[in-house]
Amino acid sequence: MLSWLAQSRTLLGMNARNLDYVRRYNHARGRRLADQKLRCKVALKKNSLPVSRLIAKIGTSEE
């Protein structure tokens, strides 16, 4: 019934992944770009990489 619990020691959580891999192997500038979806999309398009079509942009939480 709790077999997932036994496997949980082998699973990598988001925080551990970020600390162990993302932070260690990527520069701060690249992480900031990747964290902002619209800036990332513009950078990808500028380098002729395919991106999905933008449906809508939400500027504030009230929108």
pLDDT, tens digit (0-9, with 9 covering 90-100), for 42-53: 999 999 999 999
Positive or negative: CA dihedral 26, 12, 36, 56: positive
* pLDDT per residue as tens digits for the range 1-59: 566 666 666 777 888 888 888 888 889 898 888 888 899 999 999 999 999 998 988 88
Question: Would you state the pLDDT for residue 42?
Answer: 92
What is the three-class DSSP state of 2?
coil
With respect to residue 32, please indicate whether it lies within any of the assigned structural domains.
yes
Euclidean distance between CA atoms 54 and 18, whole angstroms: 27
Residue 61 in any domain: the answer is: no
Q: Is residue 5 part of a domain?
A: no
Count: domains in the chain: 1
Return the pLDDT at 17. Answer: 83
Is residue 36 situated within a structural domain?
yes
